[in-house]
Amino acid sequence: MKASNARKKRDDKSRGSFKYVDYVEHVGTHLILFPGDCVLLRSEGPVAPVSVAKIKYLRSDLQMEILWFYRPEETTEGRKAFHGKQELLLSNHSDIQSLEAVEDVCKVYTLCQYMALGKCEKDINDFFSRFEYDVGAGRVSPVSHSLPLHCVCNSPYNPDLEMNFCQDCGLWIHVCCEDEHQDGINQCRTYRQKSNNR
């Protein structure tokens, strides 16, 4: 459904006099852009967060056909505790934008790739994406509880939150959930270690 909607839009717009091209050199930045690249696009307001898109097609008329990335707070489900600060959802919202709107290229990693980056390697323009967002249906997939869940709060992984492994319950526990972890019957090891260190 998603693909056919996008295809339909593309066909409607492809009647003008342009060709699809394999790459373009962006005039302002001299970046070579390819289909599949992720780009930062100029925001409309001075305080609006930067917009991120994935290039589907590049055109000889200096337009590009894109898919927008959504931030968690822009979806019907809203931002949840497990969403990372740099998390984006790839949407099926396609659009045509001028190449002039491109400010820079950026990276949108998978969660695994993002986790593998060292702290110093992460840039403000490094993002990750593990969900897709169907804008028409307002639906995020996969559903969050189908992902591996961690901690006593039973949440998908959030790369921004520090966790300790508790050998007693065999769970990774968020540092911020340590109180709740200790409200259980057992005095777990992570807690004992912490207490001993105090």
Burial of 94 per CB tally in 10 Å (0-12, 13-18, 19+): buried
Q: Supply the minimum distance, in Å, between the C-beta of residue 165 and Zn ion.
A: 9
Considering beta carbons, is residue 59 or 174 the nearer one to Zn ion?
Answer: 174
Nearest to 52 by CA among 111, 119, 129: 129
Q: Cis before residue 142, ω within 30 degrees of 0?
A: yes
Considering beta carbons, is residue 7 or 79 the nearer one to Zn ion?
Answer: 79
Considering beta carbons, is residue 13 or 194 the nearer one to Zn ion?
Answer: 194
Q: Supply the minimum distance, in Å, between the C-beta of residue 81 and Zn ion.
A: 8
Backbone phi and psi for residue 178, each to the nearest 5 degrees, phi listed first: -60, -35
Considering beta carbons, is residue 94 or 158 the nearer one to Zn ion?
Answer: 158
Quote the tokens at residue 128. 């990750």
Alpha-carbon distance of 166 to 151, in angstroms, equals 9
Q: Supply the minimum distance, in Å, between the C-beta of residue 15 and Zn ion.
A: 53
Q: Supply the minimum distance, in Å, between the C-beta of residue 80 and Zn ion.
A: 12
DSSP state of 158: -
Considering beta carbons, is residue 54 or 130 the nearer one to Zn ion?
Answer: 130
Residues that bind Zn ion (CB under 5 A): 151, 153, 166, 168-169, 174, 177, 188
CB closest to Zn ion, residue no: 188
How many beta carbons lie within 10 A of that of residue 119, not counting itself?
A: 5
Q: Supply the minimum distance, in Å, between the C-beta of residue 179 and Zn ion.
A: 10
